[in-house]
Structure 1
Amino acid sequence: MIKIRKPNIRLFGLFLLFWGTMAVNAQESGELLNGKVSYVTGENIYVRFASTNQIENGDTLFIRDKNGLTPALLVDNKSSISCLCSVLGEHTFKVDDIVFGRTNKPVREVVQQQQDLPEKDVNERVLISQEPTKEPTRTQDINGRLSLSSYSNISDEADNIHRFRYTLSAKASHLSGSKISAETYVSFTHKLNQWEVVQENLNNALKVYSLALKYDINESATFWAGRKINPRIANVGAIDGVQFEYKFKNMFAGIVGGTRPDHQDYGYNFDLFEYGAYVGQSKKTSNGFVQSSLAFFEQRNSGNIDRRFVYMQHTNSAIKNLTLFSSMELDLYKVENEKPTNTVSLTGLYFSARYRFSKRLSVFGSYDNRKNVIYYETFRNYADEILQQASRQGVRARINYRPVNGFIVGASAGTRFRDEGPRPTKTLNGFATWTKVPALNASLSITANLMQTSYLDGQVYGARLSKDLVSGKLYTMLHYRWVDFQYVNTLTNLQQHIGELDLSWQFSKKLYLSANYEATFQDQQLFNRLYLNLRIKF
C-alpha cells in the first residue's frame, strides 16, 4: 500500500516550487578539461590548467569521486592558466588534487555563402539551433593524455610507502569520418612491494571510469554504449549500459538503462541494475545563462529496489553580477519495519549566491543541508540499525576585496553541525595576496585559519611565494605552514612546521613534468613526501 505522509506533501510542494521558479536545465555536456590544485588558502582554491581559454568566471568545476563528477568549485577569477575558485559544499582540497572543467562544445552549423550574417560567439552557437543546409563534414580527431605519477612517504618512524599511478584518457571523434566516436578514462594504481594485492583482484588497482562508444544518429539524437559518466546527470556516477539523448531547440531529454559499478572495487556488477530519465533547458540572457536539470532514477540490487530518487540542479547568472547555484535531492522510497513505502523525503539541499559589487568587492554565501543516503539492499544491515538519518547542516560566508590592483584581501567564516553532535564545527579564515611583489616579480600570499571541531581547536598560519622563472615554461613555489592543534578530550597537543617546494616544467605543448616535495617537522621527527608527475599529450 502506498503511504504518503502529510509533512512530505510539503516537500513535494517545495519540489514543484523549485522546478517552477528555477526553469529547467542541466549543465551543458562537452569536453572535460583537466586541472590541478596548485594552492589552498582558507576557502580559496587555486587551480592550474594548461589554458583557461574555455573557462569563464562563474563556471563550475568538478571533482571525480565514487559518485562520478560532482560540482565542487566556482570560478571567481581567472588568468591565462589558473583559476581562483571558491568551494561549493563541504569538499576539501589539497595541492595536486585533480579538478575538471567542462567546455560547451558548439553545435556544428553550415551557413550558405551568400548569407551575410554577423559571426556568433561560442555561447550563441551552443544555444541557437539552426537547420543545416547540408550534412556536416565529419573529420576524425584522436587526442588523449597519458599521466605517470609517483607518491612517496618517507619517515624514520614508520614504513616508507611508495605508490604509483598511471592514467590514460583518450577521445576519438568520428572514426574514419563516420558517426562513431569513442572515449576512455582508465587508471592503474599500486604500491611498491605489494603486487599480491593486484594479483588477488585486478580491480583493486585498475579503475575504468569511462569506456564507451558513441553513435550520432543525426544532429539532434545521440546514442552511447559502455561505461560513461553523463555530464547532464553527473551526480548519478558512472553507468554501465546504454544512454540516449535528444536535443530540440533549447531543450534536451534523455533516457538511461544499465548497471552501477561495484561498491567494493568499482568493477562490473550486473546485479546493480538502474534506469532513469532526465530533461533540461538552457537559455542565454544578456548577462549570462540560466541552466537547470531534472532527473529521475531507480536503482536496484538483485531485483529489489535499492533507492529511488529525484535530483534537480540549477545555475543562474541572468542578473548582472549575481551568480546563483542550487541543487536538491528527494528520495521517493523508504523501508520502515521491513515494509516498503513510497514517501517523499528531502535528502540534500544546497544553495549558494555570489554577488560582485564592483571589480574590487565581492561576497559569497552558501547553505548546505544533507542527510545520509540509505541504499536499502546494498547496505541492508546498516539501514536496519538506523533509527534516524543523521543530518548535517552548514552555513558559509566569504568576502573578497581588492583595495588596489595587484593586492587582494579576504575573510570567510562558516559553521557546520550535525543532529545531536557534541559541538558544531566552526571555521574562520583570512588571507592577503600580493600578486606582483616588486623586485621579485612574484606572488606572495599570507593566510590564517582558525577552527573548532568536535574534538579539537586548531590554528594554521602560512606564507606562500610563487613565481614563473621562465614565463609559461618553468614555475616554482615555496610554501611554509605552522600548525597548532589542541585536542579537547585529551592532554595531547600537536605542533607541526611544514615546508613545501614545487617545480613545474612545461617542456612543450605535449610534455609536462612537475615535482613536489613536502617536509613536516613534528616533535623532533621528520616526515617527507615526494610527488612526481609526467604528462604526455597526443
Structure 2
Amino acid sequence: MIKSFNRWFFLIVLNLIFAASLLAQAVPDTKVSYLSSGSVYLDYGSNIGLKTGDRLDIIRNGNVIARIEITYLATASASCKIISAQTEIKVGDTARWIERTTEMTESDTVAEVRTRMVPEKQQKAQRSASNTRVRGVFSVQWYHRGDQSAAAMDFDQWNARLSLRVQNMWTSDLNLRVNTRARFDRRTHALGTNVPEEEWRNRIYWIALAYEPADKPFNFQVGRLASNKFSGLGYLDGLILQHNIGKSFNWGIFGGLQPDMSSADFSSDMQKYGIYSTFRSGTYSATYLQTTLALAGSYTAGKVNREYAYFEFRMSDKSGWRINHSMEIDYNSSWRKSYSGNTFSLTSIYFSGSYKFNKWLTTGIGYDNRKNYLTYAYYSRAQELFNEAQRQSLRGDIWINIPAEMSVSLRAGVREGQGDARKSYNYGLTMVKSNLINKYLQATVGFTGFQNLYNHGISPSASLRFQLGAISTGTAYGAYRYTLDSTDKQRINQYMNFNFSVPVWSGLYLQGQYYYDWGDDMQGHRVLAELGYRF
C-alpha cells in the first residue's frame, strides 16, 4: 500500500508542475479584516495586485509580528495561512507585501506595467478578453514522530495538498476554487476500533464557482464553501447569493447542506438557511466602520437544530482606537424552548479593543463569554454537559516599542467556567530584537506562566531567525515545567527546534522543521518536510 501511495504522489507531482511564472510588483498596504482558526483575512485582494502565494508581513506599531501567505484570493479580499507569528494577530493589523514566491518573465513585467497605465474601463475590457489563468499551490508533506519512550508509538503521515484557483472562466470575474487534501496515516499499532493502524483520511474543503466583482450588483458562490461572511456559517454545500448596493452596503441569502464534520463527505442530514447584511464606511487611514447582521438556522429531519441572530461591529479611528465586537443570540423555539425555558438566550459575546497612545505604547483589552448550545442531534445527552459549558475570559495586553528596534509585549488573562472550582490564570512576556548583529537576524525571548484547574507552571522560550529574501532559517529552545495539584509532583519537558524554507526553482520550494523533545512526558523527535510548487 505504501509503495502504491508513493507512486501516486510522484505522478501527481509530475502532472501538476506546469504553470508559468508570475509577476513581482510593489503592492499597497492592506489590513487584517477577519480572523478564524488558522486563517487571516485581508480587506483587499486582486484589486490592488495581490496574487495567490504572495507573502506579507503583519505589522503592529511599526514592528513585524507575523508573516502570512495568501492561499485564496477574491477581487476585494484574501485568505491567508500563518507562516510564523511572534504574538497574536489582531483585526486592524497592517499587512505589508514583501515578496512574490514565484518568479516572472520579462514579458510579464512589461505587460503588467502597461496595464497600470491603461484606464480602468479599458482594463476591464482587456481582462474580459484575457485567457483563463490557473494558479495555486500543490505540495507533498511527510510528518514523522519517533517515540523513544517506553510506549514506542511511532507515527507517520503523508499529505498531498492542492489549493487551486482558475480565474477568468468565460468572463473576467468567474473563478473556480478548489482546496483538497489526501492523507495517509500509519501507526505502530491500532488505538482501538476508531483509530486503526493504517487509514486514509481524504478531504475536500472547498470546490466552488465564485462570481464576486465588487462593482457588480450581484455576486454568488456555489459548491462546497467555507465562507467568512459571518461567524458560525462554517462549511456549506450550497449557494450564497449577494446583492451589492453601492460600495458601502450589501446583503445576501444562503442555503444548503452541512457536510459530515467527521469525514467531510456529502451529507443531507442537516440543512442551513439564512440572510445577512453588511455595511462599510470610511477608510483605515481615517475612520473605518463595519457592521454585520445575520439571521441563520439549521435543521435536522425537520427539527430545529439552532436558530440565531449574529451581530458584529468593527471600528478603527486615526486617533488610535480599534474596536471589534460580536454577539450571538439564540431564538429558542419548539423543543429548545421547552428545554431552556427561555425564548431568547445570549450564546456568546466578544469584545476586543486597543488604543495607540503614541508610536511607543499601545494597550488592549478583550472579553469573551461563550456557552455551548444544544442541537437536536445531542438532545438526548445529559443536560449538565451543556449547562456547565458556559465560560468567560478577560485579558489585557501592552505593547511597548523601545529604541534600537526592540519591542516588548505584556499580557495577562483570567478564565472561569461555570462550576469550576477556581479561576484559571495566564500571563506572559515577549521581547523581540530586530537587526541583531545585522539586518537579517532577529531574536525573540518569551516567558509564560499559568494556573488552571489541574496544574500550574511556567514555560520559557527563546528563538533566532535569519531571513534573506525568500530564504529563511531558524532555531528555538523551549521548556514546559508544571506541577500537578493532585500529587504536588513537578514535571519538566523541553524541546529544540530547527526550521528552514528555501526556494528551489521557478515556484518550486522546500521547507521543513525538526523537533527533539525530552522530559518526563515525552522523549523523541518530530520531522515535518514539505516539497511544493506554486503555479
Shift of 1:289: 2.0
3-state SS in 2 of match to 1:232: coil
Distance 1:232 1:27, change over 3 A: farther
Say whether the 8 Å CA contact 2:347–2:373 is kept in structure 1.
yes
Distance 1:45 1:60, change over 3 A: farther
Decide which of 464, 480, 485 is 1:488's aligned counterpart.
485
Decide which of 170, 184, 187 is 1:190's aligned counterpart.
184
Match of 1:137 in 2: 128
Shift of 1:264: 2.8
Distance 1:519 1:237, change over 3 A: same
Q: Pairwise mapping of residues 322-337 of structure 1 onto structure 2 (< 5 A)?
A: 322-333=321-332, 335=335
Asked whether 1:224 is paired with 2:231, we answer no
Say whether the 8 Å CA contact 2:55–2:70 is kept in structure 1.
no
Say whether the 8 Å CA contact 2:69–2:81 is kept in structure 1.
no
Asked whether 1:156 is paired with 2:154, we answer no
TM-score of the pair, normalised by structure 2: 0.74
Shift of 1:223: 2.7
Residue deviations 1:464-523 (CA, integer Å, cap 9, x gap):
11112xx21321111111221101112432112211111111235622211111111214
CA distance in 2, matches of 1:112, 1:473: 36
Match of 2:207 in 1: 211
Distance 1:480 1:133, change over 3 A: closer
Distance 1:340 1:440, change over 3 A: closer
3-state SS in 1 of match to 2:380: helix
CA distance in 2, matches of 1:220, 1:184: 25
Asked whether 1:522 is paired with 2:519, we answer yes
Shift of 1:444: 1.2
Gaps of 5+ in 1: 1-25, 65-70, 83-108, 114-131
Say whether the 8 Å CA contact 1:472–1:506 is kept in structure 2.
no
Asked whether 1:47 is paired with 2:41, we answer no
Residue type matched to 1:517 in 2? Y
Match of 1:259 in 2: 257
Shift of 1:211: 0.8
Shift of 1:526: 3.0
Distance 1:135 1:145, change over 3 A: closer
Residue type matched to 1:295 in 2? A
CA RMSD of aligned residues (A): 3.9
Decide which of 141, 146, 164 is 2:138's aligned counterpart.
146
CA distance in 2, matches of 1:333, 1:138: 52
CA distance in 2, matches of 1:409, 1:199: 44
Residue type matched to 2:357 in 1? F
Shift of 1:438: 2.1
Shift of 1:342: 7.1
Match of 2:496 in 1: 499
Residue deviations 1:409-455 (CA, integer Å, cap 9, x gap):
22111101111202111011012221122269521111111111110
Residue type matched to 1:148 in 2? V
Say whether the 8 Å CA contact 1:271–1:303 is kept in structure 2.
no
Q: Pairwise mapping of residues 167-316 of structure 1 onto structure 2 (< 5 A)?
A: 167-177=161-171, 180-192=174-186, 205-215=201-211, 219-249=216-246, 250-285=248-283, 287-316=286-315
CA distance in 1, matches of 2:387, 2:194: 39
Q: Pairwise mapping of residues 85-104 of structure 1 onto structure 2 (< 5 A)?
A: none
Match of 1:20 in 2: none
Say whether the 8 Å CA contact 1:473–1:507 is kept in structure 2.
no
3-state SS in 2 of match to 1:137: helix
Say whether the 8 Å CA contact 1:29–1:232 is kept in structure 2.
no
Say whether the 8 Å CA contact 1:60–1:75 is kept in structure 2.
no
CA distance in 2, matches of 1:246, 1:341: 38
TM-score of the pair, normalised by structure 1: 0.74
Shift of 1:210: 0.8
Shift of 1:143: 0.9
Say whether the 8 Å CA contact 1:35–1:47 is kept in structure 2.
no
CA distance in 2, matches of 1:236, 1:365: 27
Match of 2:354 in 1: 354
CA distance in 1, matches of 2:56, 2:422: 31
Identity of counterpart residues, as a percentage?
21
Decide which of 475, 478, 489 is 2:475's aligned counterpart.
478
CA distance in 1, matches of 2:52, 2:231: 15
Q: Pairwise mapping of residues 59-98 of structure 1 onto structure 2 (< 5 A)?
A: 73-74=90-91, 76=93, 81=98
3-state SS in 2 of match to 1:317: strand
Asked whether 1:318 is paired with 2:317, we answer yes
Residue type matched to 2:183 in 1? T
Shift of 1:112: 6.9
Match of 1:344 in 2: 344
Match of 1:450 in 2: 449
Match of 1:363 in 2: 363
